[in-house]
Amino acid sequence: MYFKRSKTLDAPTDVYAHEVELLEGGTLDLSTLRGKPTLIVNTASKCGYTPQFEGLQELYATYQDQGLQILGCPSADFAGQEHDDAVATGEVCRRNYGVTFPVTAKMSVRADPHPLWEDLNRQPGSKPPVWNFTKYLVDGDGKLVARWATKVKPDDPEIKAAIERALAK
């Protein structure tokens, strides 16, 4: 399915050096997140793992005041499980799961990755997502510190501990 895979970088780069289009319009310059850890997640509205939005929102509600940011990135790279219509995607995120963290416009995370995802996928210790809801934790300096597969739920103690360590820096 994916014949092209970029070589992993030898040294980390600044993930906050990117801009993304937001679901409801406008652009988010990720450099505005500098100094705060960010959990970046490739999402899909029509996936069996879509209920993870609830856990992501709980993480955000728990740690937002301490500085955690979460960025959801809808993608149809895996079995076309994202709506083509931004309004429909927004309804799933906002209405169905109460998501208040930023969500990007639909983008590719693996097939023809957006520059943010090309960068995330190539970081030392990283790799491209193999399905929806892969989670990447970036520290306040824009460096990847951890990656979790789809099946690791947002409330997993390992994710919470990593977020708490990143917030303590």
Residues labelled as active-site residues: 47
DSSP structure string for 18-79: -EEEBTTSSEEEGGGGTTS-EEEEEE-TTSTTTTHHHHHHHHHHHHGGGT-EEEEEE--TTT
Q: Which token pair is 40? A: 């970046």
The burial class, CB within 10 Å (0-12 / 13-18 / 19+), for 165 is middle
- Looking at the DSSP bridge assignments, the partners of residue 104 are 22
Look at residues 78, 105, 101 and name the one whose alpha carbon lies nearest to residue 89.
105
